[in-house]
Amino acid sequence: MECLPELIELIQAATRYLDSQPVSAAFPWTQIIAMMSVIVSAATVIYTVRGNFKMQNASARMEQIREIRIIASEVMDAGHFVTIKKDTATFREVIKKTELLMLYFGSNKKIKMDAEKMDAIINDAEKLYDYLRNTDTDDGKNTLIALFLQRLVNEILLFQIAVNTVEKSTEQKKEASDKITDSCTKLQEIMRVYLNFEWEKAKRGK
Number of domains in the chain: 1
Q: How far apart are CA 18 and CA 24, in angstroms?
A: 12
Q: Residue 6 falls within a domain, yes or no?
A: no
Q: Which residue pairs from 155-160 have beta carbons closer than 8 angstroms and sit at least 24 positions apart in sequence? A: 155/179, 155/180, 155/183, 156/79, 156/82, 156/91, 156/94, 156/95, 156/98, 156/180, 157/95, 159/82, 159/83, 159/86, 160/86, 160/88, 160/91
Q: How confident is the model at residue 53 (pLDDT cuts 50, 70, 90)?
A: very low
| Residue 50 pLDDT > 90 | no
Q: Residue 19 falls within a domain, yes or no?
A: no
* Domain CATH number, residue 115: 1.20.120
Q: Residue 17 falls within a domain, yes or no?
A: no
At position 102, the amino acid (one-letter code) is M
Q: How far apart are CA 189 and CA 124, in angstroms?
A: 13
At position 10, the amino acid (one-letter code) is L
Q: Residue 56 falls within a domain, yes or no?
A: no
Mean pLDDT score, 176-198: 91
Q: What is the mean pLDDT of the chain?
A: 77
Q: Residue 30 falls within a domain, yes or no?
A: no
Residue 65's CB is within 10 A of a number of other CB atoms, namely 19
Q: Indicate the helix (H) or strand (E) that contains 172.
A: helix 170-203
What pLDDT, in 10s, does the model give residues 145-176? 988 999 999 999 999 999 988 888 889 989 99
Q: Which domain does 169 fall in, by range?
A: 64-203
Residue 85's CB is within 10 A of a number of other CB atoms, namely 10
Q: Residue 8 falls within a domain, yes or no?
A: no
Q: Residue 12 falls within a domain, yes or no?
A: no
Q: How confident is the model at residue 41 (pLDDT cuts 50, 70, 90)?
A: low
What pLDDT, in 10s, does the model give residues 112-131? 777 788 888 888 888 888 88
Note the pLDDT of residue 157. 92
Note the pLDDT of residue 30. 58
**Distances, alpha carbon 17 to alpha carbons 5, 14, 26, 29, 138, in Å:** 19, 5, 14, 13, 46
Q: Residue 53 falls within a domain, yes or no?
A: no
